[in-house]
Amino acid sequence: MGETTLNELREQKKRVEDDRVNASNHWKENDLIFPSNKGTPFSLKYLRDDFTRVLKAANLPKIRFHDLRHTAASLMLNNGVFALVVSKILGHANPSVTLSIYAHATLDMQSQAVIVMDEIVTPIQIQLHPIAPELPPR
């Protein structure tokens, strides 16, 4: 995880501790990173509703929470993170699974590769000679 994510998780840990103190006897310890204000798991409906509210507030299109995983994978691949690394982060059995799911991202990368190769090879000056006529067999 990056330092920004780790800092956010540290802040979340402090918020959970504050909730634990405020709930006192009503706290149910479940060792969760994102518990309800009583320490219990919160419902998936709450997560979906809250996520929808955040998207709307940010004026973003409605997507499923799971789509964030696809967005992260596509962003990593499109920004040059090796498929093997993305595969491990996503927990896929091997990079071929990742590449089959995110083929659209690799197609974008192929377009970029063609441009890079064009830039690398274009400065090379070559002389083309006419093809010599074929000699008859001996």
- The model's pLDDT over 17-74, given as tens digits with 9 standing for 90+, comes to 999 999 989 999 999 999 988 999 988 898 899 999 999 999 999 999 999 999 999 8
Q: How confident is the model at residue 102 (pLDDT cuts 50, 70, 90)?
A: confident
pLDDT, position 19: 94
pLDDT, position 10: 96
Q: Please state at what angle helix 103-121 crosses helix 67-78, rounded to 10 degrees.
A: 10
pLDDT, position 101: 85
pLDDT, position 133: 66
